[in-house]
A = this chain, B = another copy of it.
Amino acid sequence: MNPLNSLNFSGGPGALPESVLLQVQESMMEVPGVGLSILGISHRSDWFAAVVAEVETNIRSLLGLSTNYHVLLLQGGATQQFSMVPMTLLRGKVHPAEYLHTGYWSGKALPEASREGPVRVAWSGEASGFRRLPNDDELVFAPDAPYLHYVSNETVEGLQFHRVLGRDDVPRISDMSSDFLSKPCEAERFSLIYAHAQKNIGPAGVTVVLVRDELLADAPANLPGFLDYRKHIQTHSNFNTPPVFAIYVILLVTRWLLNDIGGVARMDQINRSKAALLYRMLDGSDGFYRGRAAPEDRSLMNVAFNLATPALEQQFLAEALAVGFSGLAGHRAIGGMRASIYNALTLPAVEKLLGFMDDFQCKQTR
């Protein structure tokens, strides 16, 4: 394996486990036991039905989810969910849905929701430059809201909620795209969770949706078929041709999480170790490396930081890339640096990055 792959700190598409990539590689010519390329297997085959069923089972098992939740595998990314959620739950409603505006991605969800019905921004971090998340004293949630929507981990700004928000009598909906299956998440406290694959669980082109059965009782009857969760539930994510390949990769990643890692609690321990090393480096650098997020809201997935000047940041990125660290540039919306340390990014890879950061600082400050 090329060493660069193991040092892919990109915000997404992210690194995938080497053992998964090897199995995927084999499947290009022949999926074991099937005799066809993964790219040529019918989505109506018994084999693929078993793949979807095992993905459902594995995700239920990893999150401790009961059978009153449906597990769906859809196309269109989180962006499609920004629209599907309010199309389903907000059209024709009087009371506003409540949204938290905590960064780039939650901000993208807002205009799509407002197209469909009334929206109240319950808290916004815009004035503070999205450098922190709200504390409980700042949050008052209405009991009559159709739902509360928030992003569990803001990928761009490196902010992550370390608690579940909202009222138990209002449906909680969360975009968990960048921390899904990175840790236990109290999934049953949510009515709907969505996560596109291309961070922790697979390649771009497929989105996991977990939805509580009762949530859809009053959904509009006249939605286009592909935007109607119930159509996807009835057909086990086979309403129209699903992205077979991407779903197969999710199968392999969930097997890896269950069997090689040992579950999401163990994954969380590993992820915490990786993040702790990086944040300790930032905090101990005498201000050479400057963490972007408020310490209590730091993301375990995306470590965003700055150097003293944009010129120094460019130098850092160029030297890092030259020795094989890929994807460290911050999101184009805010610049700076970001080390994304998703599930498949290993502790040794983080240690290598720390070594590089240490050297870079030494050379600049001696």
User: Interface of A with B (CB < 8 Å)?
Assistant: 1-2, 4-5, 8, 10-16, 21-22, 24-25, 28-30, 35-37, 39-44, 75-80, 82-83, 111-112, 115, 196, 198, 202-206, 222, 224-227, 239-246, 249, 324, 326-327, 332
- The answer to whether A40 touches B16, judged by C-beta atoms less than 8 angstroms apart, is yes
Q: Which residue of B lies closest to A198 (CB)?
A: B241
The 7 closest A-B pairs by CB, nearest first: A205-B243, A79-B240, A25-B28, A4-B35, A83-B224, A75-B75, A39-B203
Name which residue of chain B comes closest to A245, CB basis.
B203
Taken together as a complex, chains A and B put the C-alpha atoms of A115 and B225 apart, in Å, by 10
Q: Is the CB of B203 within 8 A of A244?
A: yes
Contact A5 B75 (CB under 8 A): no
- Among the listed B12, B35, B40, which residue makes an inter-chain contact with A241, where contact means beta carbons less than 8 Å apart? B12
A44 / chain B contacts, CB cutoff of 8 Å: 332
Interface class of chain A by DSSP = loop
Residues of B within 8 A of A115 (CB): 222, 224
**A160 vs B39: C-alpha distance in the bound complex, in angstroms?**
25
Cα–Cα distance between A12 and B111 once the two chains are bound (Å):
37
CA separation between A256 and B255, bound complex, in Å? 35
A36 CB to closest chain B CB, in angstroms?
6
Pair A21/B5 contact, Cβ less than 8 Å: no
24 A-B residue pairs with CB within 8 Å: A5-B29, A5-B30, A13-B40, A13-B42, A14-B40, A16-B37, A16-B39, A24-B28, A25-B25, A25-B29, A28-B28, A36-B326, A75-B77, A75-B80, A79-B241, A80-B226, A83-B224, A112-B225, A198-B241, A203-B245, A204-B243, A204-B244, A205-B246, A245-B246
Residue of B nearest to A226 (CB): B79
Which among B1, B11, B242 is the interface contact of A204 at CB below 8 angstroms? B242
Q: Given A21-B29, A77-B75, A79-B226, check contact A205 B39 (CB 8 Å).
A: no
Q: B246–A40 contact, CB under 8 A? A: no
Most buried by B among A11, A78, A327: A327
- From known contacts A5-B37, A36-B8, A225-B79, infer whether A42 and B327 are also in contact, taking CB-CB under 8 Å: yes
Name the CB-closest residue of B to A15: B40
| B residues near A75, Cβ cutoff 8 Å | 75-77, 80, 205
Partner of A10, one of B1, B11, B40, B249: B40
Cα-based distance from A30 to B222 in the complex (angstroms): 45
Do B1 and A245 have beta carbons less than 8 Å apart?
Answer: no
Whether A39 and B249, one on each chain, are in contact in the complex, defined by CB atoms closer than 8 angstroms, is yes
Cα-based distance from A245 to B39 in the complex (angstroms): 11
CB-based contact B225/A5 at 8 Å? no
Residues of B close to A202: CB separation below 8 A: 39
Which B residues are in CB contact (< 8 Å) with A239? 79
A119 CB → nearest B CB, Å? 14
A326: chain B residues at CB < 8 Å are: 35-36
